[in-house]
A = this chain, B = another copy of it.
């Protein structure tokens, strides 16, 4: 499946902070075919550092998508049956408008003049994209980690426009610890003199700070056990360092080539600010209007987005007897599990989507 990234431009997007971005570009990819009654569309939302290239082989880079094992013919999100869409988030650096984009008002790159964005803003932009594709109601919205936050936001904000929702390894709000890890990454970036208050475009990138930020991230994505199995205390004899050190340095430096430091700052802030129940009495109150069917998935060894956070969503839904299936999958892979534990996840998603499809067609 060779795929390519497409782009749409929207006249404007009003943000939660009150600022209006105009225009706004969205980069997206689609897989499979939209059926005649436009009832088989599934929107996939990527995690923090992901992009629109979720599946297939990109015609330009020849690389596989970040969830290719889950999306394709016969896979969990079966492209023989469903029309799957994935877009780069607002604030990103892979084709959608973000701090590295030109501010049309000044003709210069936004950098740190880019307005503060929220998970809600990301979702409203996705809603514009879905409308523009002629889709009134999505069969499902799905994603892990920050993608899962967007799933929850979709279900809460557009309860009539999503037949089902699959939030994976996620949370209705960041804990102090999750905020703290993000803050370390931001401070590492801003401590790099090459960051230059965000005005590094066209010059030397804040690569050292961004690499350190990414190293912290990678530790939190794995589990104690998966790191032990992958690296243990093995040393690289050529460098006189532990393999885990070599791995982190490599992953850190590699990230600099593909991610914008200012997008790091804006997107992690959006995650920290996200609070599904903000301004409401409870999670139950937020979700009770929803007729959306939920499939909530978490993983035993995920200590960055621990199961108790998913279970809070499940409890809120069950309190109103809403349609929710919850599965805590056994995995040693930590938070990365949502990307790598494909086999069981695929079967569960597949079965769930069959059930949702039947429900939609019955109406």
Contacts and interface: CB of A to CB of B under 8 A. Distances in A.
Given A245-B179, A306-B224, A233 B174 contact: yes
Interface stretch (A180-188, A259-267, A321-329): A180-188
B209 A177 contact: no
Interface in A64-92: none
A109 interface: no
A224 B175 contact: yes
A191 B211 CA distance: 9
A242 interface: yes
A164 B141 CA distance: 60
Give the residue among A188, A192, A243, A275 with the most B Cβ atoms within 10 A.
A188
A216 interface: yes
Contacts of A176: 227-228, 230-233, 242-244
A193 interface: yes
Nearest to A230: B176
How many copies of this chain are found per oligomer? 2
A272 interface: yes
A48 interface: no
B233 A177 contact: no
A287 to B, nearest CB: 19
A210 B92 CA distance: 29
Nearest to A223: B177
Interface in A305-349: 306
Nearest to A275: B233
Contacts of A209: 191
A38 interface: no
Q: 3 shortest A-B CB distances, which residue pairs?
A: A191-B208, A176-B227, A176-B231
30 contacts: A175-B224, A175-B228, A175-B233, A176-B228, A176-B232, A176-B233, A176-B243, A176-B244, A177-B228, A179-B242, A179-B245, A180-B244, A180-B245, A181-B219, A183-B242, A183-B244, A184-B212, A184-B216, A184-B219, A184-B248, A187-B212, A188-B188, A191-B191, A191-B192, A191-B208, A193-B193, A212-B212, A216-B216, A233-B275, A242-B272
Interface of A: 173-177, 179-181, 183-184, 187-188, 191-193, 208-209, 211-212, 215-216, 218-219, 222, 224, 227-228, 230-233, 242-245, 248-249, 252, 272, 275, 303, 306
